[in-house]
Chain A
Amino acid sequence: MKAIRFISFCLGCVLVSVAAGAATCVIRAKYWYLPNVKANLAYSYAGFFSEYAVLQSNQASAQDGKTALLQYLGILQRFQSEKIGYPENLLHLYSGQTYLRLYRLEVVTKNPAKADEYLRSAERELAIQGHKEITPEQLIRYTQALEASEAKFYNGNTGIPVPVDEQKP
């Protein structure tokens, strides 16, 4: 009888230990680690795709560039809709920049309606991000500067592949 009571007590101790461990683990994982892990994974994932999309838009054809940029944009929108702990202002900044790259490619492929749409989307994203007073002309000038800096960095020239002066659709 004494042995049975001792064994039941030991089992009770194990049960208490497991319950306390499980509760601590779940609470700590759910409310502390998991959001951080997800945010870090999202950051690495988006960074990887960002490099891919920027390189495709600079090195491949306009169509391949657009496909890659839209894929990247889809990832950013997914992070926004799933409320992954990715800084909201960065999501809007990167989305705005991606819309501007898309705008540039649409101008190159002579699609003014789509280019205008992307320019407005960029304006909207950057306004949410905090640049409320920004005008389309300023965005075009920014795109021009971005294009020149990327042409220099990725292709080693100071020229711009396609003239961006007067790019407003």
Chain B
Amino acid sequence: MKKIIALSICTILGTLAGYFAAPILSMAAAQSSDPDIFAVAMLANYKNSVVCDCLGQPVKESAKGLSEYLSILQKFREKNQKSAVPAQELGLTYVRLSLVERRLDEQSHADEDMKHGQAELATIGWKDTSSTHLTFLVTQLNSEYKPADGNKKTVAAAATTPR
């Protein structure tokens, strides 16, 4: 009888451990089955958290978050040199950082980052890389992350379906 009870307890404990380990195993399986999707999805999630936080947290924290995101993007680009995606994201993040630095009265850093952003976006064929246009564009893009309605919406997604 004691043996049966001991074995039952072991089974329950094992089942519980397996139950809680399943999410970790799933993440590992998803990562190994498609590392590209996993990497970009993680990047996208990180971006959402950084850009969302940019709108609600102290300016210095925003600058720190964006700088960290920039360094992650640079590493990502080293691994995906043929893709234009990291260049666009880097360009826009430099512009975002520049706007934050302007609010911190770090004009020289702001100008430097704006130039980096303009250079990145010019390499992927953007027609208007003037500081005025990029400032407008990033402000518009940031407005999609406003926590007011709680949902991120893109113009494309918000567009009504044809009637």
Contacts and interface: CB of A to CB of B under 8 A. Distances in A.
Do these two chains really belong together in a complex? yes
B22 A32 contact: yes
Contacts of B15: 20-21, 24
A23 B89 CA distance: 42
Contacts of A13: 6-7, 10
B41 interface: yes
Interface centre among A16, A19, A59, A154 (most CB of B within 10 A): A59
Given A49-B85, A61-B127, A37 B26 contact: yes
SS class of chain B's interface: helix, strand, loop or mixed?
Answer: helix
Contacts of B42: 44
Given A37-B27, A42-B37, A55-B88, A16 B7 contact: yes
Interface string B105-134: 000000000000000010011111000010
A102 B144 CA distance: 24
Contacts of B136: 156
Interface in A68-100: 68, 93, 97
A56 B41 contact: no
A44 B14 contact: no
B71 interface: no
Contacts of B6: 9, 13
Given A17-B13, A20-B14, A61 B125 contact: yes
Report the interface size class on chain B.
35 or more
B150 interface: no
Contacts of A37: 23, 26-27, 29-30
A42 B89 CA distance: 19
Interface residues of A, number: 63
B155 A40 contact: no
B80 interface: no
Interface of B: 3, 6-7, 10-19, 21-23, 25-27, 29-30, 34, 37-38, 40-45, 47, 84-85, 88-89, 121, 124-128, 133, 136-137, 140, 154-157, 159, 161-163
Interface of A: 9, 12-14, 16-26, 28-29, 32-34, 36-38, 40-45, 47-52, 54-56, 59-61, 63-64, 67-68, 93, 97, 126, 129, 131, 134, 138-139, 141-142, 145-146, 149-150, 153-156
